[in-house]
Structure 1
């Protein structure tokens, strides 16, 4: 019974919980758009996001837009806490010339984001594999055995993959996920730090940005990160959507790229981009807003306190040695 009070009394505990709230807010707010994006990427005949939305709601019901959400939602607390904590450490460690009293340099921010994206791919790959299989279930471009034997949830999908493809199957798409997420996270954190400074000059040092600044900077950071990695995300979706029985359509990243472009043209690499960008702005604005607001509440035992006091505590926390990463 004493675990939670002690856990929340530590800065690491508060960071973990705030990261969970931020990640959960992002998943819930953007998941329907993510489902539409996945379906657009997988099939050239899917049509626009609006037409897909109408077809899904009429044929499968509104709940189909949230199919597969349990897998990322269940893991998002740890994943988001890990992302923000690793980034906080790496952004300083990779550019030690900056004083602990000053905000990380833009170089440290970009390199820290690059390392964070690469590391988080190890956990994200199985989660996204399960999510994609569920999102494409009951569609005309799902695998034949998926259409005949629909899964009831993420555990059912994971068991099926382990049984038919083994542990290696759970990590299908790891390479392409790293290639996508490493540069995307570098752009993501750099854009957030740069844009909030432009929207509220001096806030990186004074730590007094408003909610509007966090929402706008977070949204723009999400848009920038998706713009730079979207073609890789299309390839990743197609590789993870296929099973190994009877034989895979694509034999790797290069083969998937060549066949997709040959069969559907280069436009396939940007299919669903509008949906992804719209989702990215909403999701990442929600992530940063929920994360910062939760952190502020936790640092004052449930009530908001002044920005300076909050960020003085955060700065003191981030300047301490990190022993868990």
Structure 2
């Protein structure tokens, strides 16, 4: 009976809940664009608008949300872990900081890199299941359609074991470690540029959160996008459709067959999604955190 009051009384508990709200806002706001991005990356099937017309016309609008349960179910814990680990690591690299000072930009970047590497252990199986569901009814996956993430996960475990569940872990770490460094550094830098002094005061406009969060998402995707394309192709493989032996083999075969442009296919969709999603994530996170720390009173200036 006393669990939630005690949990929310701790800094870790508030970070956990606020991170969950941020993650849920990000998933719901950007999932249709994520489905389009994955389909663009997996094969040369045309522009995002062409794929959108095809998906809605042939499979219905609900197909844009296929596989959302997998990331949505894990997003609270994942986002809580990401923001909490980042808070610890970003300050760990600045031993001379006082409790009221924000971490330096160096600490922010190194904290982001460490956070990205660690969160890949949780994210890799979730994204594997999500990609398999998003690519159902396409030429990429010809196996019988499955009803949901649990069925997909059980099938992968039965046929491929633990190794199959973590297919693509290496490329996920290579993608997420540097991208999270850019992600948090860009957010902290841009919010300070848009609203000088807000990193220390904690007071900023909603517009500042949305724009800084959106630009942080764009920066993190642009720096790692070719790796994300390769990750999608590696995780889309099943035991009956193995085409690539590893990261370098996938890069070589993909570029040879489709040119260097394949490494940037779907970037426009990813950037549009990144701005929307990460603006929503940081705004929901910051607002929820301030509500929890101030018992419902958001210390934020009026949005201009």
TM-score, reference length from structure 2: 0.97
* Residues in 2 aligned to 1:93 and 1:14: alpha-carbon distance in whole angstroms: 20
Question: 1:320 matched to which residue of 2?
Answer: none
Q: Could you tell me which of 266, 269, 282 is aligned with 2:263? A: 269
Contact 2:205 2:300 in 1 (8 A): no
Q: Quote the Cα distance in structure 2 between the aligned partners of 1:95 and 1:257.
A: 38
Aligned pairs for 1:136-155 (under 5 A) are: 136-142=135-141, 144-145=142-143, 149-155=144-150
Single out whichever of 15-24 and 91-100 deviates more from structure 2.
91-100
Q: Is the 8 A contact 2:287 2:298 kept in 1?
A: no
Maintained 8 Å contact 2:24/2:76: yes
1:26 paired with 2:65, answer no
Distance in 1 (CA, whole Å) between partners of 2:294 and 2:94 is 31
- SS in structure 2 opposite 1:72? helix
- State which of 211, 215, 218 in structure 2 corresponds to 1:220: 215
2:253 equivalent in structure 1: 259
Q: Deviations over 1:59-80 (max 9, x none)?
A: 0000000000000000000000
How far off its partner does 1:110 sit? 0.3
Kindly indicate whether the alpha-carbon contact (under 8 Å) linking 2:140 and 2:236 is maintained by their aligned counterparts in 1.
no
Report the 3-state secondary structure (helix = DSSP H, G, I; strand = E; otherwise coil) of the residue aligned with 1:102: coil
Counterparts of 2:114 and 2:248 in 1: how far apart (Å)? 24
**Could you tell me which residue of structure 1 aligns to residue 4 of structure 2?**
4
Deviates more, 1:202-211 or 1:219-228: 202-211
Aligned to 1:52: 51
Partner SS, residue 26 of structure 1: helix
Match of 2:83 in 1: 84
TM-score, normalising length: structure 1: 0.90
Match of 1:306 in 2: 299
Structure 2: distance between partners of 1:241 and 1:222: 24
**Runs ≥4 in structure 1, deviation > 4 angstroms?**
none
Q: Give the CA deviation at 1:305.
A: 4.0
Aligned length: 301
Residue matched to 1:133: 132
Deviation of the 1:165 alpha carbon = 0.4
Unpaired stretches in structure 1, ≥5 consecutive residues: 309-325
The SS at the match of 1:137 is coil
Structure 2, gaps ≥5 residues long? none
